Structure formats: C-alpha cells, structure tokens
Amino acid sequence: MIKRLFTAHPTSVGESYGEHFRHALAFSATMFVGAAACLVHALIPSMCQRTGSGIIARLHDRMVVNRTTTRQP
C-alpha cells in the first residue's frame, strides 16, 4: 500500500520514482520562476511582459513531448 502511494503514478507515465521526482522538481522550480515574473509584472506592468506566458508555453511543450515519447503501450 505505501509503496503503491509512491510508485503507481510514476510507473503509469513510464518513469521510476527518482526520474519522476527530478522532472516534477524541475517543473516546480520553473513554475516558481514564472510565478515570480508574473508577480513582478503585476506590480510593474512594463516588466516581464512575456516571461510568464513564455514559461507556461515551454512547460506545456515539455510535458506534451515527454508524454508522447515515453508513454508505454
């Protein structure tokens, strides 16, 4: 039961726990950068005008490409 809690989802996307952890951590860090850029833009509209949306687009592309290349039959 406990093992399944940590391995069911990573296995379903074709990753080990460690691989999934690294990918999720990298996404999290990138999302924090995007959130900070959006906060700066909210405070000073002339700054970071495209940073947040660019980060979201790149993350989406990475996730979709990864999903289609590693999904197991």
Where are the chain's structural domains? Answer: 2-70
Q: How confident is the model at residue 70 (pLDDT cuts 50, 70, 90)?
A: low
Which amino acid, 29? A
Q: Is the predicted pLDDT of residue 71 greater than 80, yes or no?
A: no
| DSSP sequence for 13-73 | TT--HHHHHHHHHHHHHHHHHHHHHHHHHHHSTTSSTTHHHHHHHHHHHHHHHHHHHH---
Q: Given this model, what pLDDT does residue 65 score?
A: 76
Q: Given this model, what pLDDT does residue 32 score?
A: 97
Q: Is the predicted pLDDT of residue 63 greater than 60, yes or no?
A: yes
